[in-house]
Structure 1
């Protein structure tokens, strides 16, 4: 796997914290899970309840495209973005339909990439916030928020023990101009508790 870097030269933690074969292992793992009939659509089901039919949705840190593909199957227009070209290649191969782009979320500018229309929602699943380049978390949330229409919603899920404290996430989200509306312990809406090892936060860009 190549070292994915921001414009400032910071490697993502996806590059620094995993081995050289991790991306292909990840692709193979989710292809196997799909072949076995595993339920891989939980994040998409939740986001689908938060938006009107035929919404425009940004799958930020889309990985192999499983979430964006499910949202597209539900009738939404999806653009997926990931810094890892191996994962984007897999998304394009396995899930034609959505637009899959290689880009770092900390410098995201979809208007410049040919997608000027704002999005109704964004989703950051699969521990995306724990894998962006250290120190870029607020920039990532800010760039995602900038792609949304006013009153657009963002769903973010990550493990609370992955080196990015939830208190820091809340400060970064507020600094990016996003308001916290709800928090759950799982994507299937188990109630939030302070000792939960996972957090799903529903944020909104003010109208």
Structure 2
């Protein structure tokens, strides 16, 4: 999740959700639940040793799992409490504190094989910054690189009273950023999207 700068995530949490968020997923893992669906979805679309930018990485759950699978991951998030958990779990990995609207200004080496925005990152961005964030992420991809984003399309799939993004608007932002659609799925298991309140969208930089 992203935080800071008046975005919706910081409005919801006050930037103090890291420990609680990490504990929630630790409990799910202890119960036997699969908490790595996003990472496995991404890994199926990556070559060996790929570079991945986890945009709105939160506590690092997805990036750490992708690193365990052999990929080189950089996590960016503006919520210091979330990043503290990521750094505690994987201190050797690269974690950068910044709002995603500024991600292209961090001096990251471009040419990522994938940029990932999981965990309702897109709907929780600061209002009006969404097109700029999509454009910034697209600019960091190599030709053929993928932007993968999963988010709720209705209030039942969001920690908000109403949806802030539609699939059509998101596709338009991607098109404006020079990305082309690849596929859309209803879950991180990869099921084809046939309608509903949650979608995982894959776009490619030509």
TM-score when scaled to structure 1?
Answer: 0.88
Q: Is the 8 A contact 2:83 2:97 kept in 1?
A: yes
Q: CA RMSD in A?
A: 1.7
Distance in 2 of aligned mates of 1:83 and 1:192: 31
In the alignment, does 2:77 pair up with 1:82? yes
Distance 1:110 1:42 in 2: 30
- Equivalent residues in 2 for 1:130-149 (5 A)? 130-149=123-142
Check whether the contact 1:156–1:200 (CA below 8 A) recurs between aligned residues. yes
Q: Distance in 2 between matches of 1:50 and 1:85?
A: 30
Match 1:116 to one of 105, 109, 114:
109
Task: State yes or no: 1:127 paired with 2:120.
Answer: yes
Distance 2:98 2:30 in 1: 28
Tell me the residue number matched to 1:205: 205
Aligned residues of 1:111 and 1:117 also touching (Cα < 8 A): no
Structure 2 distance, partners of 1:95, 1:26, is 16
| Contact 1:128/1:158 (8 A) holds in 2 | yes
Alpha-carbon distance between aligned partners in 2 of 1:74 and 1:44, rounded to the nearest angstrom: 9
**1:57 and 1:149, CA in 2 relative to 1: closer, same or farther beyond 3 A?**
same
1:8 maps to: none
Selected match of 1:55 from 45, 50, 61 = 50
Distance in 1 of aligned mates of 2:13 and 2:84? 19
Please state how far the C-alpha of 1:37 moved relative to its aligned partner. 3.7
CA distance in 2, matches of 1:14, 1:27: 16
SS at match of 1:46: helix
Give the superposition deviation at 1:71: 0.4
SS at match of 2:126: coil
1:83 and 1:102 in contact (8 A); partners too: yes
Q: Structure 2: state its 5+ residue gaps.
A: 155-162
Summarize deviations over 1:31-71 as a string: whole Å, max 9, x none: 32234343111111111111110011101110110100110
- Of 10, 13, 22 in structure 2, the residue corresponding to residue 27 of structure 1 is 22
Q: Which runs of 4+ in 1 moved over 4 A?
A: none
